[in-house]
Homo-oligomer: A and B are copies of this chain.
Amino acid sequence: MKQILIIDDDENLGDLLTQYLARYEMQAHVALAPSKGLEMIKKLKPDLLILDVMLPEKDGFEVCREIRAKSSIYGQLPILMLTAHAEVTDRIVGLELGADDYLPKPFEPRELVARIHNILRRSGDDASMRDIKPINGIDVDLSRREVKLDQVVLDLTTMEYELLILFMQYPNKTFTRDELMNRLRGIDAELFSRAVDTLVSRLRHKLGDTSKTPRFIKTVWGRGYTFIGEQR
């Protein structure tokens, strides 16, 4: 489980984030002050740091600079900064500070989760960054975001790609529509529409798959969908 450290003096926000991230299999810890935070980094060895700009003692920029400066101590810890205003953002991400990403407050929680995943992926440490084994003729190159079916490159949309990745990470697992929606969009989505079905249908089509005699995606009637792994 990913360990996330949050340095933010807003205790309430910290709690909420902790709770929210828990749903995505991330364990969050909160430090209310930078000094405490730096201490915790050494102990916890978190996988990612969420850093507020507005802090007591010294501001987030300072903290970020310090961490980057002392990389021998803190390593290449990925950092996501929370900015109060959008204007300053330019400087944050660039060389000057070395943060990996930023997010202006107020933000959508799912947006945060998306960014976290992004950063972890870039830093090559995310579970979703594990290589994906070729299955049944489908070959995925995560770093290039390229999918080949029987040596032919497929042109997939974002959703289609994400869905395929998700499926291939858990071959033979039956996903309910809720699960798929949640994993793809980060929150509990509306169930009233056939959005998932449509998406699956589109992906199937590009994979040259048929619902009747599926080569890849099997419909589990009354439950959801399953990506067929190697059969034995």
Chain A residues in the interface with B (C-beta under 8 A): 12, 15-17, 19-20, 23, 68-69, 71, 76, 89, 93-96, 98, 101-102, 108-110, 118, 122, 143-146, 151, 153, 157-158, 170, 172-174, 178, 187-188, 190, 220-223, 231-232
Q: Which B residues are in CB contact (< 8 Å) with A89?
A: 190
Copies in the complex: 2
Q: Which residues of B contact A178 (CB under 8 A)?
A: 118
Residue of B nearest to A179 (CB): B118
The answer to whether B158 touches A222, judged by C-beta atoms less than 8 angstroms apart, is yes
- Given A19-B76, A122-B23, A188-B101, A220–B145 Cβ distance below 8 Å? yes
CA distance A83 to B205 in the complex (A): 38
Instruction: Choose one: B69, B94, B222; the contact of A110 (CB below 8 Å).
Output: B94
Q: Which one of B20, B144, B173 contacts A172 once the chains associate, using CB atoms below 8 Å?
A: B144
B173 pairs with A71, CB closer than 8 A: no
Residues of B within 8 A of A95 (CB): 16-17, 20, 108-109
- B188-A93 in contact (CB<8A): yes
Q: How far is the CB of A65 from chain B (nearest CB, A)?
A: 9
Say whether A145 contacts B94, CB under 8 Å.
Answer: no
Query: Distance in Å from the Cβ of A49 to the closest Cβ of chain B?
Result: 15
Task: Flag if A174 contacts B144 (CB, 8 Å).
Answer: yes
